[in-house]
Amino acid sequence: IDSSDSVSTAYSDGKISLGEFLQYAIQKSWIDVSSLDISSDFYDLDTIYTELIAYIGEHLKTDPEFEKLIYKYLIKNGTISGYEICMTLFDQKVLNSKKDDDNESLKNGYLSSYSFMYRKIKNLDITPAQLALDPYSGTVIITDVKTGKVLTAVSYPSYDNNKMANHVDSAYFNKINTDQSSPMLFRATQSRSAPGSTFKPLMAAAGLEEGVISTGTSIFCNRIFDKITPSPTCLGYHGNETVQTALRDSCNVFFYEVGYRLGMTNGRYSNETGLSKIKKYAHLFGLDETSGLELNEYAPQVSTEDAVRSSIGQGTNNYTPSQIARYVTAIANRGTTYDLSLLNQVKNSNGKTIKKFKSSVLHTLDFKDSTWDAVQRGMYLVVNSGHSASLTENFKNAGLLVSGKTGTAQEDKTRADHALFMSYAPSNAPEISMTVVVQNGYTSSNAAKIASDIYKYYFKTDVTKEQE
């Protein structure tokens, strides 16, 4: 299909119907008719169109995504009510109507269907996936930045391990083993996504250490980076940006330029040279191997194509939350890349310690102080400059200063982007780092909101409670 064709563009923009587009596509020979049930050697447009519609209809009958789309519109149009959805949870035995305290309140109208669903999800009685809602999964990892010890590694949805200890509840095991939301998958180490803009602090450090930019370098963003074709774009027109403000604004054009300059050799751009420089710094931050956690972990993927786009976390960059956690921990402590660890010590049945686990350093990054200052200043501005209204709102009552970097990653055009937020606190004397990844979380501010709530809990600094 010629995406530049005026009729194709009109269909993409919603200006003509699917029927009109299909008839045009048949005329342009964009459709392979060999799979259609046409016995005659001679056929006209109407014959092909009729058989094509029949072919599509037959395949849609068994297409689960199309079925979901139908239900989506039935719910959106009010054909299926929220109350009916709630009752389905009881009918399908997801919830027990006899033991559920909210059942009568829902039936009597004292509790709205929305409040009922929200309460059940919050109390872990059901998961968003059981209502076909996005987001329905995520992970949080907290590390001690001075040792690389993992203080928390949480994966959601999960399962009740009390039902899996000593005697396995076979019915429960079968339920979670067949659950399409994969509660037995430990997403901290066994889910990967592009890092998105969380990759930009690494590129800032690479540019500064390789000397292709300085802390005072100004790069102009007019939204389009026209040094390569096709030309990638930025989400805004930022004007002149330094490395600190480019991190604050998450300016794509600035980091496209950094990636481009890293690929320059004797006045000529080399994509391979740019990729090799990116790989060098990914290696230093531990992004080219598993994080060290004593669990099964997916191998990372450092980008192997398009140095310019890879510089904003695209290309083929692909990392687990645990690998991003090691990377941000190294930023927080200014240059020590640890092997992350969940283990502190092993004791025997008598309580005697038989083994202690010490911190293991993978790399020590001998970067200039000015490099660390610039990267950390940029991450401080991301959260505290007021340029992002959502981040300002999320952290205004945190009671301490947090530095961080947001990111989004698109995996499936039919679903929301993954939301990422890597951070550390307190900004002036980091103690912990935190990595939050919400799969199909729409916007990184959702991941940041989770981080904000956890920081308040960890440091006991919730200003809103002090004001009550």
Say what the alpha-carbon torsion angle 454, 459, 462, 467 is, to the nearest 10 degrees.
170
Q: Measured between alpha carbons, how far is 107 from 224 in angstroms, rounded to an integer?
A: 56
Residue 134 within any structural domain of the chain: no
Cβ-contact 232, 315 below 8 angstroms:
no
Which among 28, 46, 62 is the end of a domain? 62
Residue 226 included in any domain: yes
Sequence letter at residue 395: F
Q: Are residues 110 and 200 in the same domain?
A: no
Instruction: Read off the tokens for 69.
Output: 């789309």
Q: Is 20 helix (H, G, I), strand (E, B) or coil?
A: helix
Domain boundary among 15, 39, 62: 62
Where helices occur in 300-362 by DSSP H, the ranges are: 307-310, 321-332
Question: Of the residues 22, 38, 62, which one is the last residue of a structural domain?
Answer: 62
The Cβ of residue 304 has, within 10 Å, a number of other Cβ atoms equal to 14
Is residue 176 in some structural domain? no
Same domain for 76 and 13, yes or no, is no
Which long-range contacts does 223-232 make (Cβ < 8 Å, 24+ apart)? 223/253, 224/253, 225/252, 225/253, 225/256, 225/257, 225/260, 225/308, 227/256, 227/257, 227/260, 227/269, 227/308, 228/260, 228/269, 228/308, 232/256, 232/308, 232/309
- Structure tokens given for 156: 């959601």
338 and 456 share a domain? yes
CA dist 38 and 31 (Å) reads: 14
Residues 112 and 53 in one domain: no
Quick one: 230 and 101 in the same domain? no
Residue 187 lies in a domain: no
400 with 461, same domain: the answer is yes
Flag whether 109 is in a domain.
yes
Cis peptide before 430 (omega within 30 of 0): no
What's residue 296's pLDDT? Answer: 96
| pTM above threshold 0.75 | yes
The total domain count for the chain is 3
314 and 451 part of one domain: yes
pLDDT of residue 467: 45
For every residue of 350-372, DSSP letters joined together read TS-EEEE---EEEEE----HHHH
Q: Residue 393: what pLDDT?
A: 85
Burial class (CB in 10 A: 0-12, 13-18, 19+), 91: exposed
Q: Angle at the Cα of 274 (from 381 to 327), degrees rounded to 5?
A: 45
Residue 466, pLDDT score: 47
Predicted confidence at residue 468, as pLDDT, reads: 43
244 plus 291 within the same structural domain:
yes
* Distance (Å, whole) CA 88 – CA 79: 15
Kindly give the parts of the chain with pLDDT less than 70: 39-42, 463-468
93 and 213 in a single domain? The answer is no
Q: Are residues 21 and 91 in the same domain?
A: no
Full residue range of the structural domain in which residue 11 is found:
6-62
With residue 90 as reference, give the H or E element that holds it. Answer: helix 82-91
pLDDT digits (tens, 9 = 90+) for 141-162: 999 999 999 999 999 999 988 9
- CA–CA gap between residue 342 and residue 352 (Å, rounded): 19
Residue written as tokens 């009752």? 87
Residues 248 and 262 in one domain: yes
CATH code, domain with 294: 3.40.710.10
Is 227 domain-assigned? Answer: yes
Rounded Cα–Cα distance for residues 466 and 468 (Å): 6
Q: Do residue 49 and residue 95 come from a single domain?
A: no
Asked if the peptide bond before residue 64 counts as cis, ω within 30 degrees of 0, the response is no
